[in-house]
Structure 1
Amino acid sequence: MPDDGASVPSDWADIAFDGRSIRIEHQWLRPERAQRPLVVFLHEGLGSVSMWRDFPQRFCEAGDFRGLVFSRYGYGRSTPRPHDEKWGVDFMHRQAREALPALFDALDIGLGRSRGKPWLFGHSDGGSIALIHAASFPDAVDGITVLAPHILVEDVSVRSIEAARQAYLETDLRSRLARYHDDVDSAFWGWNDIWLDPAFRQWNLHALLPQLRCPVLAVQGEDDEYGTMAQIEGIHRYAAQTALLKLARCGHSPHRDQPASLTQDAVRFITAHTSYLK
């Protein structure tokens, strides 16, 4: 696991989700750049604010953007998932359609509140949540960048997630992840149990993707252990405005494996497609 490179202090927002109040850890980056595009970073299935390290800060500096990084419910310093709560097959849809809009409301983000609409920058599960949100609320975002997103469940994904379960039970993975989450078991089992549930094998975004209207940059590493190029090529098939970025010598985390190439292409894409900068 990478070292914790977060240096910006976290704040908390209270949102209503699933019939109760949830505390969401978040950090604002470069808030003084109020006239520049806002990029909202959505982490991976085991991620959090601190797991991003300093990539969001460096990315926002490179593009002269503002940024927002947050830990979803069950992750980081946000409210943990109760251990007896099992997430359903629709857990990413609920994050995209319920939790994310609630957070935007709490932080006064959105059309008519701050200049322009936000960009979503999602990794893995966070990329899928970005796709669902943009397709469900086509007027809510200016565009999205998705790294190693999931639009269907592949055999390679299941094999790698099974391997992660064994590593969590048999190696020091649990102790390493514990640095990034207040309740590491809540974070790990919430993610792992639903991805390995047989009912989840039928999950996909095929019916939703044609509803995408915004610009999309879809990024995949050639050596991604959790998915193949079918993921981003499928997005392009359903949403022709999607630009594809395929990175050599890159696994499941392009922002760690190829940060310079990713930053260069993604900054250029966001700058070129931000509506009020044209």
Structure 2
Amino acid sequence: MTTQPSQPAVRDEDHFIQVDGGRLFVRDWRPDTPNGTGLPPILLFHDSLGCVDLWRSFPSRLAAATARRVIAYDRLGFGRSDPHPGRLALDFVAAEARAVVPILLDRLAVGDFVACGHSVGGGMAVETAAYFQSRCNALVTIAAQAFVEDRTLAGIRVAEQGFQDPDQLARLAKYQGDKARWAVDAWTGAWLSPEFAGWTLDAALAEIRCPVLALHGDRDEYGSQEHPARIAAGRGTMLMLADTGHVPHRECEDRVVEAIRVFLARG
């Protein structure tokens, strides 16, 4: 019988960082071992209705498994960050990489790093890897969209209708507070806008210079396997997760953590 090596304990720390428009809430997980100090940290980007708390146990598990520092933050308008000052611009995916990430990396004293994002956060991770070619050592996307697909829009319309139910909005408000309605409207309004219909990650993907792992559930209601195929094409590995929907890091956390651990260990 093979004995699995014990994983280090993980300690976390919270910060608030000022950016244009307000303060961002940041949580930082660090494995309690000197072996992880020289490894580039993992920067997590949440999805369209996400926040630090909705990553749940995933960041801590990831930090322990990879012996790397893991950093997650709430974008403006989400979680414990300040309210967003207005509407999302149509270039909000690329703008996060260019306007916010540089400040985070500077304030958190991060040099090289790994970008990892879920859903639209995966798009932000792609844009970040393209923008920081010399510093992003690896890219991981989880259920990311690479273009506007009919399946994606259909899923968003179903969700939009569901959030007309006050009980469903109240459940989201447990994480988003009084910003919950803004978060829903920002998500649906951006993606369903006719002006957003031509959005793709193609230009950013062409600039990627690091290894790529694109994870995707075979039952993802917000995107077909064309998304991870496009993200990984000529750049890395696409891994389809069986019997999995749009939130693999909660639905099959063990498989996702192990897949990322193995990918990063190959270095």
For 1:193-212, what aligned pairs fall within 5 Å after superposition? Answer: 193-212=189-208
* 1:37 maps onto 2:40 in alignment: yes
* 1:12 maps onto 2:19 in alignment: no
Q: String of CA shifts for 1:211-270, please: whole Å, max 9, x gaps.
A: 110011001100000000000111233xx1211111100001110111111111110111
Among 53, 59, 62, the residue aligned to 2:62? 59
The aligned amino acid for 2:240 is K
Does the CA contact (< 8 Å) of 1:14 and 1:106 recur in 2?
no
| Residue 243 of structure 1: aligned partner | 237
Distance in 2 separating the partners of 1:230 and 1:73: 30
| Residue 216 of structure 1: aligned partner | 212
Distance in 2 separating the partners of 1:219 and 1:108: 28
Give me the TM-score of the superposition, normalised by structure 2: 0.90
Distance in 2 separating the partners of 1:9 and 1:166: 37
* 1:264 maps onto 2:258 in alignment: yes
The aligned amino acid for 2:246 is H
| Residue 149 of structure 2: aligned partner | 154
Q: String of CA shifts for 1:125-162, please: whole Å, max 9, x gaps.
A: 11000001111221121111110111101001101111
The aligned amino acid for 2:24 is I
Distance in 2 separating the partners of 1:34 and 1:187: 36
Deviation at 1:120, TM superposition (A): 1.2
SS of the residue aligned with 2:206?
helix
SS of the residue aligned with 2:87?
coil
How many pairs align?
Answer: 253
Does the CA contact (< 8 Å) of 1:62 and 1:267 recur in 2?
yes
The aligned amino acid for 2:29 is L
SS of the residue aligned with 1:214?
coil
Give me the TM-score of the superposition, normalised by structure 1: 0.87
The aligned amino acid for 1:191 is W
Distance in 1 separating the partners of 2:72 and 2:204: 25
For 1:113-262, what aligned pairs fall within 5 Å after superposition? Answer: 117-182=112-177, 183-237=179-233, 240-262=234-256
Deviation at 1:177, TM superposition (A): 0.6
Does the CA contact (< 8 Å) of 2:216 and 2:228 recur in 1?
yes
Distance in 1 separating the partners of 2:248 and 2:215: 8
SS of the residue aligned with 1:169?
coil
Does the CA contact (< 8 Å) of 1:13 and 1:107 recur in 2?
no
Structure 2, unmatched stretches of 5+, are 1-10
Give every structure 1 segment of 4 or more consecutive aligned residues whose post-TM-superposition deviation is greater than 4 Å: none
Distance in 2 separating the partners of 1:188 and 1:66: 31
Does the CA contact (< 8 Å) of 1:118 and 1:143 recur in 2?
yes
Structure 1, unmatched stretches of 5+, are 1-6, 111-116, 274-278
| Residue 114 of structure 1: aligned partner | none
Does the CA contact (< 8 Å) of 1:81 and 1:187 recur in 2?
no
Q: Please, what is the CA RMSD of the aligned residues?
A: 1.6
